Amino acid sequence: MKKLFIILSVVASALFFSCGKDFLDVKPSNSTDANITINTLADAKVMLNGVMRKMIRSTYYGRNFLIYADAKGGDLTIASQGRGLDALYTFNHTVNSNTYSSFWSDIYNTILQTNNIIAGIEKLEAAGTTIDFKNYKGQALTLRALMYFDLVRLYGKPYTMDKSSYGVPVVTEVLSASAQPLRSSVEQTYAQILADLTAAESLLPKAKSNGYINYYGNKAIQSRVYLTMGDYEKALNVAEEIITSGVYSLYSNTEWVNSWKAEFGKESIFELRMVKDEGELGSASIGFYYLRNKDNNALGNFIASDYYLSRLGQDNTDVRWGIMTYDEISKTRKGACYKYVGSVDKSGEGKDPYTAVNIKVIRLSEIYLTAAEAAFKKPSPDPAKAATYLNLIRKRAPALAPATAATITEDLILDEKSKELLCEGHRFFDMIRAGKQITFNDEHVGVTMAHRPKTIDRSFNKIILPIAIGEINANPGIGAQQNPGY
């Protein structure tokens, strides 16, 4: 941890005490410059672009974080070991190996950049600036909240399981090189997340803002947070505010497949933009990891599980089959997900063929499913409302009977969310927060899993990652706060 914050403090010093320069003419649009101080809106925008550019690294939203949730959630399996990122599926995590410590280091480095933006803006505000930085401050606060939400789900127990257990260190200001912050509780971490989101919402515009966070992007993150906390009334209220705003609308069945070929569609609330010729991830991208074996020399790292295909196979006319193609197991088993290359023929947005589309972090479909689950599970359940919201997504499978107030269940909602949001980074977090069992499709691997049983639930210690030994060596105090069982 210490060496991490040494790096961050150097970055902070450069950002706030070096002379500024006009770098907009020489740096890519998604770049950030370590030698710039915030003086203008253009400075703030470029620094914010730099934050989002870091978020789409392969170690975060560009690949690993989304694979983490689907591989650990049972929607994916592997056909063979040794092709890359196996440990996300096998749970082969120790303090010394397969810790995926880049989640910790990269997210904290990016959080420090949001702290720099916020501190720089607040310094100008205190000095009486007449420039209106509200939008950029609100975006930085919202992105910081999202990153802390991701961290606490990776390293902390579920809020509804044990909110007094260790969360993650909460850092909201620039630190000195000697700082060694310790872990806050899960409850304290969520309190900071909500504080940032609440502080930011009134600063953000309500109009669509392609590639950036707006008011509704903030609210969408709030809906995720409240759902994870089990506060279903608030989750429903926030989701319905987004739905009734009319700013976004669901894709029709005829539009859904082709929506993956386009940027900033009518259902997209927040996308992390992949910019052509600016650090495209190529064979390190999430799209490449989901290509079938030998397609453009891909290894076919992850394929849909039998359990997922059984859910989708409830209706052979389900439109979501349109982004699935056959995998290496057979030429009839459509287990390869091609969302991230735009289509089964890889016709994306004109970028690198493996990073053909933006990362769609939040889509309106998720919000309808949040509203359905929250309506169903709130203290005064409203199964009729839940069924109404669910059916607007369930109609992607036209042969299935609509849910009713009498037939709707929590599992029906979660399974629909699985079908709709495959490979978008949800299933594991949904199953764990809901206290469900996860069963893995290990038969395709051909070996017995040594590091987890075939079926797990949230009592299994490896549902959260260990603090890596490198962080403990640099910050000994955090060693006493290691996650149980590691």
Report the distance separating Cα 124 and Cα 367, nearest Å: 36
Question: Is residue 158 assigned to a domain?
Answer: yes
- Predicted local confidence at residue 280, as pLDDT: 80
Report the distance separating Cα 346 and Cα 323, nearest Å: 10
| Residues 38, 187 within the same domain | yes
- Predicted local confidence at residue 4, as pLDDT: 45
Tokens coding 404:
């009713």
Question: Is residue 405 assigned to a domain?
Answer: no
Report the distance separating Cα 44 and Cα 15, nearest Å: 11
What would the mean pLDDT of 217-231 be, rounded to a whole number? 98
| Residues 115, 15 within the same domain | yes
- Predicted local confidence at residue 353, as pLDDT: 67
| Residues 26, 117 within the same domain | yes
| Residues 13, 101 within the same domain | yes
Report the distance separating Cα 196 and Cα 349, nearest Å: 34
- What is the DSSP-derived secondary structure letter of residue 462? G
Q: Where among 337, 357, 377 does a domain terminate?
A: 357
CATH number of the domain encompassing residue 39:
1.25.40.390
Tokens coding 105:
């280091």
Question: Is residue 245 assigned to a domain?
Answer: no
- Count of domains in the chain? 2
The angle subtended at Cα 132 by Cα 50 and Cα 121, nearest 5°, is 50
Question: Is residue 368 assigned to a domain?
Answer: no
Q: Where among 357, 377, 397 does a domain terminate?
A: 357
Question: Is residue 169 assigned to a domain?
Answer: yes
Q: pLDDT band for position 279 (50/70/90)?
A: confident
| Residues 34, 174 within the same domain | yes
What would the mean pLDDT of 379-394 be, rounded to a whole number? 98
Question: Is residue 276 assigned to a domain?
Answer: no
Q: Where among 357, 383, 411 does a domain terminate?
A: 357
Question: Is residue 139 assigned to a domain?
Answer: yes
Distance of CA 102 to the CA centre of its chain: 15
Q: pLDDT band for position 12 (50/70/90)?
A: very low
Residue in 418, 430, 444 with CA at minimum distance from that of residue 312: 418
Could you tell me if 243 and 20 are in contact, meaning their C-beta atoms sit under 8 angstroms apart? no
Of 379 and 262, more confident: 379
Per-residue CA distances from 57 to 65, 274, 352 (Å): 10, 10, 15
Give me the phi and psi of 22, to 5 degrees please. -85, 95
Per-residue pLDDT at 275 exceeds 50? yes
| Residues 192, 287 within the same domain | no
| Residues 297, 198 within the same domain | no
Amino acid at 358: N
- Predicted local confidence at residue 175, as pLDDT: 79
Residue in 484, 481, 470 with CA at minimum distance from that of residue 1: 470
Sequence length of the chain is: 486
Question: Is residue 388 assigned to a domain?
Answer: no
Q: b/e string for 192-208 if b means 16 or more Cβ within 10 A? A: bbbebbeebbebbeeee
Q: Domain span at residue 329?
A: 282-357
How does the average pLDDT of the chain come out, rounded? 91
- Predicted local confidence at residue 20, as pLDDT: 34
For the chain, give the percent of residues with pLDDT over 90: 84
Amino acid at 235: A
pTM over 0.75: yes
Of 61 and 296, more confident: 61
Count the neighbouring beta carbons within 10 Å of the beta carbon of residue 296.
Answer: 12
What would the mean pLDDT of 296-316 be, rounded to a whole number? 96
Residue in 226, 230, 275, 271 with CA at minimum distance from that of residue 248: 271
| Residues 94, 8 within the same domain | yes
- Predicted local confidence at residue 13, as pLDDT: 35
For the chain, give the percent of residues with pLDDT over 70: 91
| Residues 45, 162 within the same domain | yes
Of 473 and 24, more confident: 473
| Residues 193, 331 within the same domain | no
Q: pLDDT tens-digit profile of 150-172?
A: 999 999 999 999 999 999 999 99
Tokens coding 322:
């349109």
| Residues 153, 55 within the same domain | yes
Could you tell me if 130 and 154 are in contact, meaning their C-beta atoms sit under 8 angstroms apart? no
Report the distance separating Cα 48 and Cα 272, nearest Å: 12
Q: b/e string for 318-345 if b means 16 or more Cβ within 10 A? A: bbbbbbbbebbbeeebbbbbbbbbbbbe
**Matching residue, tokens 């995720």:** 224
Tokens coding 131:
């420039």
Per-residue pLDDT at 32 exceeds 50? no
Report the distance separating Cα 454 and Cα 462, nearest Å: 13
Q: pLDDT band for position 446 (50/70/90)?
A: confident
Per-residue pLDDT at 28 exceeds 70? no
Residue in 104, 96, 79, 77 with CA at minimum distance from that of residue 88: 77
Backbone CA torsion sign across 321, 326, 330, 332: positive
Report the distance separating Cα 9 and Cα 296, nearest Å: 42
Per-residue pLDDT at 36 exceeds 70? no
Question: For residue 418, what is the enclosing H or E element?
Answer: helix 410-420
Of 7 and 259, more confident: 259
| Residues 117, 11 within the same domain | yes
Amino acid at 102: S
Q: pLDDT tens-digit profile of 332-369?
A: 999 999 999 999 998 876 676 677 689 999 999 999 99
